[in-house]
Amino acid sequence: MGLALLAAPATAQDRTARLLGELADAHGPSGFEEPVRKIVVRELAPLTDSIRYDGVGSVIAQSGTTGPKIMFDAHMDEVGGMVRRIAPGGLLTMQLLGGFLDQVLIDKRWTILGSKGPVTAVTGIRSVHTVAAEERSRLIPRDMIFLDVGARTAAEVEALGISPGDPIVPWSPFEIMSGGVRYVGKAWDDRVGLAVVIEAMRRLKETGHPNQIFVAATVQEEIGLRGARTAADIIKPDVGIAIEAGVTGDMPGSPAEASQARLGGGPGIFLFDSSTIPNRKFVALVKAVAAAERIPLQLDLVQGYGDDSGAIQATDGGVPTVNLVVPGRSLHAHNGIIDRGDFDRMVELVVALIRRLDAKTVAELKDFTPR
């Protein structure tokens, strides 16, 4: 593979773009992953030997019955919310699911998934004409935010099929941006990871691999890495590879210490985050595979970030793990952006990596005998 970082324009959607769009548009906040699960099972069924589920709803698809057990992980849930209270005047409050900045919540459209179908809601904001000058630059805290569905009373809200506990997701349709190589949408964390896993399994189905691959499409990552833990309890992997959406530091005003990654710079690997420090031998192997395949690899250390590899690592007496990331800009908000070239090179990287994980290599990753 060459070192050029730009993918061919894909304004006319190819299979991968269609899959990315379908996954991004699917509604699936933590605990409500059913629409995403349906897509994942449909895609993985012809690519794997069997599919089962853990007790909280994670998908576990197996390919191969001999060799090391590789847990190949991406989570299905996205940041979102659920209806908390319905006020007498027809406004609603929201319980957030996952990490949002307060400033991204105001004046946005949302979709409430009620019993009678989806309902559009708006997190309203007072008109500038009624806000005192000293308040205009102040941040509106999340506990002051209300959802407006156009109802005048609580009874009208209930007539729409909305009740407390109903899931809420950002409204942000997928779109291919000008130039054809960057995609905007919601939920790249972690629908981009799911798409990587699916496309990698498509290639491995064609070429074969020396492992038992257990694809884990997990639930409730955004509220505590829950599905990864329960899925790993079932799989008992020899090694774990988590595929995530990374963060970039290429926005104006971004602190240099926040992230070194940039959009379009290639796939990344986290050397540290708040949930895990990866296995050092595994990191070295990823670097070696990327170099051999001539794939640019971005190295990053990120505070305030947790991922499924942290849960996988701490199961069954300890599992060597790495967290590989497709860089994403403006994540955990309505309009995240990814680069198609980063995605394609991540697929190439994980396919090459999994082919290298034979029994001897995996045994070396797990050997901590002093030399």
Q: What is the average pLDDT across 73-77?
A: 98
Integer Cα distance of 349 and 209 in angstroms:
14
pLDDT exceeds cutoff 60 at 329: yes
Beginning with the edge strand found earlier in the chain, give each strand of the sheet holding 268-272 in spatial order.
Answer: 50-53, 59-63, 212-218, 69-75, 239-247, 321-328, 268-272, 298-301
Q: What is the average pLDDT across 52-68?
A: 97
pLDDT exceeds cutoff 60 at 114: yes
pLDDT of residue 303: 82
Structure tokens given for 292: 């051999």
10 Å CB burial of residue 128 (0-12, 13-18, 19+) is exposed
Integer Cα distance of 36 and 38 in angstroms:
5
Is 34 one of the annotated binding-site residues?
no
Domains delineated in the chain: 15-78+173-365 (3.40.630.10), 81-170 (2.40.30.40)
> Over the stretch 152-199, which tens digit does the pLDDT of each residue have?
999 999 999 999 999 999 999 999 999 999 999 999 999 999 999 999
- Residue 81, classed as helix, strand or coil, is strand
Query: What is the rounded average pLDDT for all residues in the chain?
Result: 92
> Over the stretch 125-158, which tens digit does the pLDDT of each residue have?
767 666 667 666 776 778 878 999 999 999 999 9
Cβ atoms of residues 265 and 95 within 8 Å: no
Is 334 one of the annotated binding-site residues?
no
Enclosing H/E stretch for 22: helix 15-25
Query: Quick one: the chain helix, strand, coil %, rounded to 5?
Result: 30, 25, 45
Is 332 one of the annotated binding-site residues?
yes
Q: Considering the chain, what percentage of its residues have pLDDT values greater than 70?
A: 92
Residue numbers annotated as active site: 221
- Chain centre distance of CA 193: 6
Is 175 one of the annotated binding-site residues?
no
pLDDT exceeds cutoff 60 at 4: no
* Whole-structure pTM value: 0.92
pLDDT exceeds cutoff 50 at 315: yes
Is 209 one of the annotated binding-site residues?
no
Structure tokens given for 161: 């099929």
